[in-house]
Amino acid sequence: MKSAVIVFPGSNCDRDLAVAIEEVTGRAPTMLWHRETELPEGTDLIAVPGGFSYGDYLRSGAMAARSPVMQAVAKAAERGVPVLGVCNGFQVLTEAGLLPGALMRNAGLSFVCRPVALTVENSQSIFTSRYDAGEKITIPVAHHDGNYTADAETLDRLEGEGRIAFRYAESVNGSARNIAGIVNQAGNVLGMMPHPERMIGPEHGGVDGRRLFEGLLEAVA
């Protein structure tokens, strides 16, 4: 699998994502600086990492979403290339219009940094095929702006079309309908606030994030 991890000024989970991808797929991703205008030929997975791109200036993910590399990411997404956005990556994907809705300040105003229980809502996506629908998993979150919001019509559509990949199984950040992760209409773009790359080995305290990458490897191979 030929993957690329996008790196913005202020990204800080880019290395974690690269390590997870390499460990599961056996091939290190290309690290792609935000000023690049093209993806490496044949890229078949794009990962947008967590962190504080551009210091969260203006809005989380707002500046990164307008950086040159995101135009290449949007084009690839349109062609069906899988795109995984984690945490700040999810914020970037919503700001870029690749996913609906927006991520606002956590309802409790606190930065939340701990493992949380999630329910896998849909095991039909390329990101969740290695999970069972309804399965409870534990993945850590670390964010200040994870409070997912969208208008009722959009939320109904996400639910109706099975596009909610993960929900929080406990109170975390005030997210509408407990949404932790969603996919786009075509099913090749996933944004999620929890960090699957931080749960891929026993040394992390669990392996519940590993199957996301294994599923992607299987889907792409």
Q: State the catalytic residues.
A: 87, 195, 197
- Sign of the alpha-carbon torsion through 156, 212, 50, 72: negative
Q: Which listed range, 31-39, 57-65, 80-88, 164-172, lies at the site for another protein (CB under 8 A)? A: 57-65
Quote the distance between the C-alpha of residue 170 and its chain's center: 19
Q: Using CA atoms, how far apart are residues 121 and 8, in angstroms rounded to an integer?
A: 30
Contact between 157 and another protein (CB under 8 A)?
Answer: no
- Sign of the alpha-carbon torsion through 165, 177, 148, 169: negative
* 115: three-class secondary structure by DSSP: strand
Query: 14, 44, 95, 197: which one contacts another protein (CB under 8 A)?
Result: 95
Q: Tell me how far, at minimum, the Cβ of 73 lies from another protein, in Å.
A: 17
For residue 117, give the nearest of 133, 135, 91, 144 by alpha carbon.
135
Q: Tell me how far, at minimum, the Cβ of 175 lies from another protein, in Å.
A: 11
Contact between 144 and another protein (CB under 8 A)?
Answer: no
Paired tokens of 81: 């290339």
Query: 28, 109, 133, 186: which one contacts another protein (CB under 8 A)?
Result: 109
Q: Tell me how far, at minimum, the Cβ of 112 lies from another protein, in Å.
A: 13
Q: Which listed range, 30-38, 56-64, 67-75, 195-203, lies at the site for another protein (CB under 8 A)? A: 56-64
Contact between 108 and another protein (CB under 8 A)?
Answer: yes
- Secondary element (H or E) of residue 19: helix 14-25
Query: 94, 119, 178, 188: which one contacts another protein (CB under 8 A)?
Result: 94
Q: Using CA atoms, how far apart are residues 136 and 194, in angstroms rounded to an integer?
A: 14
Which residues make up the interface to another protein (CB under 8 A)? 58-59, 62, 66, 94-95, 100-102, 104-109, 147, 149-150, 174
